[in-house]
């Protein structure tokens, strides 16, 4: 490590966590907050004071699926503007200790004799995220099961791979039939290849992927292992052909279909301080992050950072009431002294950002064009391909807020494209 | 949700710890052996030239930034590096006023007029040197044979490239390649300390501050071009090894051509840039009126950097492009 720190590695090696991190269950929160992306309070079909059941669809008829993960009484319905200019509907629920489950989620006992559409519908109904494009009718050509965590300091998939590798085979068989995928790829970290022995599926291809950031990001997996585009929904329809499902969600689907229960518990890796020990907790989706901090016995340092979903491309929350969602993988607390400060320095053109960019963007130029509002040039340079991995920021010696600039450029380019 | 006292920003929330000063301070560090060799050879005169160049470059930068109303950033060390590189190219007894003129012009016209660090299309040190070189009354001061006439350092005090220019490769029998490599030759204060410069350059590459593509391809370009000339007439033209160990080639390959803002950043751009610099160097050594061509080769190629940077890897498409979205719209329209 000493020599490597002396020699400037490009790209920097940011390894994924691969050790065992035992999971501890957290009690049910007294109040759960549920977030619904790209929806307004008007789309919510329940009112303040209504009782809701676990697994109940809270969306107004015909507006999609917004599943309650707890049983209790609705206390608050509000809206929230996300950092990416997306509106969220927020529903606060006062929980009761004993869950009563919504009757529309049932187990499927004989998977082999059930129609694929029915299995898929039940998976989606159970609350697994990432199927928006499939719901809109897109075909899945490649299905990638990722056993890699997306970020460093995250040990969710690593732990699931250690604990429940034997459920993976069932899950792959079920999901590949349900989605009708022509090709199934299982991506496994190169240094835990022993797990490949436990996974035996005839139709799936097992690929060892180098366990360094950003190889676990879905866009990169879809491109490198599936040679396709990630399935995404656009305003005009769906694009892509590759569905990436994390191994945690996959074994979750197996359990849900066996037991007929919705997907309500999520493993989250917590790290109270930089260099501190990792801790995996099992929380109910909707639990505020403050409960995870209490469990770690960490006080929020004033002026510090509370980061959800990893130190590289995660987001810094403004509140410790931020709830865990179905895709929250990790919580990290930084002291004010550890917080990386951006500087208003001009680009010195060293080219490190372009050298580390996993999608070969000319970040040095994009940063400047975005800073001065020349978005036509940003579109020419392919700004929409930025996956916001944060590596350019990580290496920038001038400490420019490159991710901010590129994300802005991407947003504007996308808006303009849709308008045309 | 109630806002807490927290810092909010976009990612990444980690940083590698790299700073702008890494580049300049490590360049200064890497050049210390070459400076030491210059001081050992030429004594206090060399110290005077180096001191004048560095001081005037830094003062010029600070004054100019004050005048332009920009934040004064001389602490980033880039002006000091420009001044030092300029000094290392000059003969030890260059008059102080020439050194001041070169570094002030290099910093002001070469750098700050274009917007400062990162925006300069040409390396400030090279601009300063070129101004001296093409100013006719001062030409004698940059002719190493005339400038260093009063020194006797125990080896041939003829500038190898001038000998080559005057009498072809047959005149080079006095020069031993290994001795030239060890720095036993006249030339710029630091540029002639070939082995020291090479060591410093390898240090910069090891630290990841200079990418290996440009220096390697620079030297490769020199080898290719000199071999081609050698094929035509081996009596008139010197071999590749002689070209590499004389004049400014070594300092040019590792320090002059790799200036961040006046060099390409994409791999194949850097390869083309390095090869062209090296080949043009030899062409200028053979056909121009000046014995050495490194600086002009670097300056010339720096002008092509925006073009060379077009030699880039195509962005990997991970998101639908405009065309794909439009196609989807058309398909959607047709089906509905």
Cross-strand partners of A92: A33, A76
Asked if A236 is an interface residue toward chain B (Cβ–Cβ < 8 A), one would say: yes
Q: pLDDT higher for B186 or A137?
A: B186
CB contact under 8 A, B12 and A355: no
Verify whether the Cβ–Cβ distance A349 to B8 is below 8 Å: no
Q: Are B260 and A351 an interchain contact pair (Cβ–Cβ within 8 Å)?
A: yes
CATH class for the region spanning A29-95: mainly beta
The shortest C-alpha distance from B223 to chain A (Å) reads 27
Compute the nearest-CA separation of B8 from chain A (Å): 5
Q: Which domain holds residue B94?
A: 23-308
Q: Do B314 and A360 touch (CB under 8 A)?
A: yes
pLDDT of amino acid B329? 47
Helices (H), ranges, A212-319: 218-224, 247-259, 289-296
Confidence at residue A193, expressed as pLDDT on a 0 to 100 scale:
65
Contacts of A408 in chain B (CB under 8 A): none
Nearest to B12 among A302, A313, A322 (CB): A313
Does residue B297 lie within any of the structural domains? Answer: yes
Q: Which CATH superfamily is domain A115-259 in?
A: NADH-ubiquinone oxidoreductase 51kDa subunit (3.40.50.11540)
User: What is the DSSP code string of A352-409?
Assistant: HHHHH-TT---HHHHHHHHHTT-HHHHHHTTGGG-----HHHHH-TT---HHHHHHHH
Q: Which one of B6, B312, B315 has the shortest CB-CB distance to A316?
A: B6
Q: How confident is the model at residue B97 (pLDDT cuts 50, 70, 90)?
A: very high
Q: According to the model, what pLDDT value does residue B249 have?
A: 95
Q: What percent of chain A has pLDDT over 90?
A: 39
pLDDT tens digits along A310-367: 999 998 988 888 899 999 999 999 999 989 999 888 899 988 999 899 999 999 999 9
Total domains in the fold of chain B: 1
Confidence at residue B335, expressed as pLDDT on a 0 to 100 scale: 38
Our CA angle for A344, A350, A351, nearest 5°, is 105
Distance between CA atoms of B110 and B91, rounded to whole angstroms? 22
Q: How many residues does chain B have?
A: 336
Are A346 and B119 in contact (CB < 8 Å)? yes
pLDDT tens per residue, range A236-250: 677 888 899 999 999
Interface of A with B in 292-321 (CB under 8 A): 300, 302-307, 311-321
Task: Determine which of A102-116, A370-384, B218-232, B279-293 has the lowest per-residue pLDDT on average.
Answer: A102-116
Within-domain flag for B329: no
Question: Would you state the pLDDT for residue B78?
Answer: 93
Residues in B touching A390 (Cβ below 8 Å): 11-13
CB B195 within 8 A of CB B181: yes
User: Least CB-CB distance to A7: which of B15, B206, B312?
Assistant: B206
How far apart are the CA of A22 and the nearest CA of chain B, in angstroms?
Answer: 26
Confidence (pLDDT) at A5: 53
Least Cα separation, residue A167 to chain B (angstroms): 31
How crowded is residue A250: how many other Cβ atoms within 10 Å of its Cβ? 25
Q: Which of A238, A304, A395 sits opposite B16 (nearest CB)?
A: A395
Mutant choice from B3, B11, B72, B81 vs A, greatest count of A C-beta within 10 A: B11
β-pairing verdict for A305-308 and A315-316? antiparallel
- Quote the pLDDT of residue B275: 96
Highest mean pLDDT among A51-65, A180-194, B277-291: B277-291
Burial class of A370 by CB neighbour count within 10 A (0 to 12, 13 to 18, 19+): buried
Say if A149 is an interface residue toward chain B (CB within 8 Å): no
Name every chain A residue with its beta carbon within 8 A of the beta carbon of B19: 397, 399
A260 CB-near residues (< 8 Å, 6+ apart): A101, A105, A106, A107, A108
Q: Where are the alpha helices (DSSP H) in chain B?
A: 20-30, 32-42, 44-67, 78-89, 96-108, 124-134, 139-142, 144-147, 160-167, 177-181, 194-206, 213-232, 240-244, 249-251, 267-287, 294-302, 305-308, 322-335
Angle between helices B96-108 and B78-89 (to 10 degrees): 140
Which chain A residues are closer than 8 Å to B116 by Cβ? 346
Residues carrying CATH 3.40.50.11540, chain A:
115-259
CATH number for the domain that contains residue B251: 1.10.3430
Query: Residue A364's closest chain B neighbor by CA?
Result: B265
Give the model confidence (pLDDT) of A263-291 as tens digits: 999 999 998 877 778 899 999 999 999 99
Structure-token pair, residue A105: 């989620």
Judge whether residue A304 has pLDDT over 80.
yes
Alpha-carbon gap, residue B334 to B336, rounded angstroms: 6
Average pLDDT of chain A?
A: 87
A227 — contact with chain B (CB < 8 Å)? no
A63 close to A17: Cβ distance less than 8 angstroms: no
Give the Å distances, CA to CA, from B93 to B34, B80, B87, B139. 17, 20, 11, 14
Do A239 and B260 count as a contact with CB atoms less than 8 A apart? no
> The tokens of A73 are what?
């009484």
Which single residue is written with the structure tokens 């987001």?
A: A315
Which residues are A89's β-sheet partners? Answer: A36, A79
> Is A332 within 8 Å of chain B by CB?
yes
Using only the alpha carbons of chain B, give its radius of gyration: 23
Q: Is A260 helix (H, G, I), strand (E, B) or coil?
A: coil
Please report, for residues A209, A228, B38, the alpha-carbon distance to residue A143 in angstroms, rounded to integers and kept in the order given. 16, 10, 65
CATH 2.40.50 in chain A: give the residue spans.
29-95
Q: Does A240 touch chain B (CB under 8 A)?
A: yes
């Amino acid at each position: 490590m000493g020599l490597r720190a002396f020699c400037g590695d490009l790209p920097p090696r940011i390894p994924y966590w691969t050790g065992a991190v035992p999971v501890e269950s957290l009690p049910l929160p007294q109040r759960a907050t549920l977030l619904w992306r790209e929806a307004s309070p008007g789309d919510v079909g329940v009112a303040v004071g209504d009782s809701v059941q676990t697994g109940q669809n809270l969306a107004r008829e015909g507006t999609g699926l917004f599943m309650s993960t707890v049983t209790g009484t609705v206390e608050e319905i509000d809206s929230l503007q996300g950092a990416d200019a997306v509106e969220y509907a927020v529903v606060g629920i006062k929980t009761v200790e004993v869950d009563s489950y919504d009757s529309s989620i049932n187990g499927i006992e004989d998977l082999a004799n059930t129609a694929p559409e029915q299995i898929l519908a039940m998976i989606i109904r159970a609350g697994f995220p990432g199927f928006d494009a499939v719901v809109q009718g897109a075909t899945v050509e490649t299905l990638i099961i990722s056993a890699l965590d997306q970020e460093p300091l995250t040990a969710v998939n690593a732990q699931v791979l250690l604990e429940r590798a034997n459920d993976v085979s069932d899950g792959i068989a079920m999901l590949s039939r349900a989605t009708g995928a022509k090709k199934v790829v299982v991506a496994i970290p190169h240094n835990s290849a022993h797990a490949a022995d436990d996974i035996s599926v005839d139709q799936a291809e097992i690929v060892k992927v180098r366990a360094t950031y950003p190889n676990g990001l879905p866009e990169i997996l879809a491109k490198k292992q599936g040679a396709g585009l990630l399935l995404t929904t656009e305003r005009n329809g769906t694009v892509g052909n590759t569905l990436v499902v994390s191994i945690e969600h996959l074994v979750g689907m197996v359990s849900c279909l066996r037991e007929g229960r919705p997907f309500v518990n999520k493993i989250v890796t917590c790290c109270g301080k930089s260099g501190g020990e990792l801790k995996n907790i099992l929380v109910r989706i909707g639990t505020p992050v403050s409960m995870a901090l209490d469990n770690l016995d960490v006080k929020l340092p004033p002026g510090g950072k509370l980061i959800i979903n990893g130190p590289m491309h995660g987001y810094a929350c403004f509140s410790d009431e931020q709830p865990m969602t179905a895709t929250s993988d990790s919580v990290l607390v930084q002291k004010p002294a550890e917080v990386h400060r951006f500087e208003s320095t001009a680009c010195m053109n060293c080219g490190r950002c372009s050298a580390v960019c996993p999608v070969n963007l000319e970040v040095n130029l994009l940063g400047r064009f975005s800073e001065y509002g020349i978005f036509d040039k940003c579109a020419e340079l392919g700004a929409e391909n930025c996956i916001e991995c944060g590596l350019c920021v990580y290496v920038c010696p001038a400490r420019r807020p490159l991710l901010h600039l590129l994300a802005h450029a991407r947003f504007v380019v996308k808006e303009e494209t849709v308008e045309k | 949700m109630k806002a807490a006292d927290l810092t909010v920003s976009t990612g990444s929330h980690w940083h590698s710890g790299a700073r702008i000063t890494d580049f300049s301070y490590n360049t200064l560090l890497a050049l210390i052996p070459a400076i030491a060799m210059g001081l050992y050879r030429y004594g206090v005169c060399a110290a005077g030239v180096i001191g004048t160049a560095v001081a005037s470059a830094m003062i010029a930068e600070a004054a100019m930034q004050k005048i332009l109303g920009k934040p004064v950033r001389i602490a980033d060390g880039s002006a000091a590096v420009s001044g030092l590189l300029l000094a290392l190219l000059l003969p030890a007894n260059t008059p102080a006023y020439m050194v001041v003129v070169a570094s002030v012009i290099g910093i002001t016209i070469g750098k700050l007029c274009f917007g400062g660090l990162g925006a300069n299309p040409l390396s400030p040190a090279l601009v300063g040197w070129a101004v001296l070189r093409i100013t006719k009354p001062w030409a004698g001061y940059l002719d190493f044979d005339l400038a260093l006439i009063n020194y006797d350092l125990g080896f041939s005090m003829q500038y190898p490239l001038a000998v080559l220019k005057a009498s072809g490769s047959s005149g080079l029998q006095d020069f031993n390649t290994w001795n030239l490599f060890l720095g036993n030759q006249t030339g710029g204060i630091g540029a002639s300390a070939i082995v020291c410069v090479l060591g410093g350059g390898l240090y910069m590459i090891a630290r990841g501050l200079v990418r290996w593509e440009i220096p390697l391809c620079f030297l490769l370009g020199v080898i290719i071009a000199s071999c081609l000339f050698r094929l035509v007439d081996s009596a008139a033209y010197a071999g590749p090894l002689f070209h590499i160990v004389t004049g400014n080639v070594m300092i040019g390959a590792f320090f002059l051509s790799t200036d961040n803002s006046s060099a390409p950043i994409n791999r194949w751009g850097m390869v083309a840039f390095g090869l062209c610099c090296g080949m043009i160097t030899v062409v200028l050594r053979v056909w121009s009126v000046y014995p050495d061509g490194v600086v002009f080769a670097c300056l010339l190629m720096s002008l092509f950097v925006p073009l060379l940077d077009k030699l880039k890897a195509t962005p990997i498409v991970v998101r639908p492009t405009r065309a794909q979205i439009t196609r989807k719209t058309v398909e959607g329209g047709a089906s509905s």
